C-alpha cells in the first residue's frame, strides 16, 4: 500500500473509529488488501488521478447520524444532511472529494448480501493502532460478481488465482 494512500485510509478509519461507525472497506481497496493492487479507474475505464476508498456503512439511523458527524470531521459541510426532514439511510450515498482521495460511502452493495450478515464475516486488521474493517474475501467476490463489469471480473480472477496459490 502506498504511503500517501495508507495515511488517507488510516485518517478515515481513525475518524470512523472515534465515532463508533459500523463500516467495511469494499471495492478496489479491499481487493488490494486481499493481494491484488490496481489503480482506481473512472466509469469510462480511464485511470483516476487519485485513489478512491469505497466504504459500505450499516444503513441504520443511528449509524447514519454518526456518519454525518464523521463527514463533518473530514471537513465537509453537513448542514443539508442535519436539516433533512426525513433522511433515508438505506438510500443515502455520499461521494466526498478530498484533497488526496475520493471517499464513496455506500449504504448497500450491488449483491444481495445484507450488511448484518457480511459484518459477521468481516476481517478486522490493526494498522498503526487503528482498526480497519474489510469485507470478507468471499463477500467481496460475491459483490464483484454482481456488477459484471470487466474490471470486477478481472479482480475476481486475480483474487481467486492468489487464493489458490496459498
Pick the CATH number of 3-39+46-164 from 3.30.460, 3.30.70, 3.90.1720, 1.10.3470: 3.30.460
Report whether 55 contacts 122 (CB < 8 A). Answer: no
- Asked whether the predicted pLDDT for residue 107 surpasses 60, the reply is yes
What tens digit of pLDDT does each residue of 113-148 get? 999 999 999 999 999 999 999 999 999 989 998 888
Q: Which residue has the higher pLDDT, 11 or 148?
A: 11
pTM: 0.90
- Residue 51 has what pLDDT? 85
Confidence (pLDDT) at 93: 96
Question: Can you give 65-114 as a three-state secondary structure string?
Answer: HHHHHHHHHCCCCCHHHHCCCCCCHHHCCEEEECCCCEEEEECCCCCCCC
Residues 6+ apart with CB under 8 A from 29: 9, 51, 52, 53, 54
Report the alpha-carbon distance of residue 25 to residue 75 in Å, rounded: 21
Question: What's residue 150's pLDDT?
Answer: 85
Q: Provide the residue ranges of all domains of the chain, joining segments of one domain with +.
A: 3-39+46-164
Which triple of cell numbers denotes residue 76?
Answer: 465537509
Number of neighbours of residue 58 by Cβ within 10 angstroms: 20
- Contacts (Cβ under 8 Å, ≥6 apart) of 68: 78, 81, 82
- Residue % of the chain over a pLDDT of 90: 67
Amino acid at each position: 500500500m502506498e504511503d500517501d494512500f495508507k495515511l488517507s485510509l488510516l485518517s478515515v478509519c481513525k475518524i470512523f473509529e472515534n465515532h463508533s461507525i459500523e463500516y467495511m472497506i469494499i471495492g478496489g481497496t479491499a481487493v488490494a488488501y486481499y493481494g491484488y493492487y490496481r489503480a482506481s479507474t473512472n466509469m469510462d475505464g480511464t485511470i483516476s488521478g487519485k485513489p478512491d476508498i469505497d466504504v459500505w456503512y450499516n444503513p441504520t439511523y443511528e449509524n447514519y447520524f454518526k456518519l454525518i458527524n464523521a463527514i463533518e470531521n473530514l471537513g465537509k459541510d453537513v448542514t443539508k444532511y442535519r436539516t433533512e426532514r426525513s433522511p433515508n439511510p438505506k438510500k443515502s450515498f455520499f461521494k466526498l472529494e478530498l484533497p488526496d482521495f475520493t471517499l464513496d460511502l455506500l449504504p448497500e452493495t450491488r449483491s444481495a448480501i445484507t450488511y448484518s450478515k457480511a459484518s459477521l464475516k468481516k476481517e478486522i486488521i490493526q494498522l498503526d493502532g487503528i482498526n480497519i474493517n474489510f469485507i470478507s474475501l468471499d463477500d467481496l467476490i460475491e459483490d464483484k460478481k454482481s456488477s459484471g463489469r470487466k474490471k470486477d471480473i478481472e479482480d475476481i480472477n486475480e483474487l481467486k488465482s492468489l487464493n489458490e496459490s496459498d
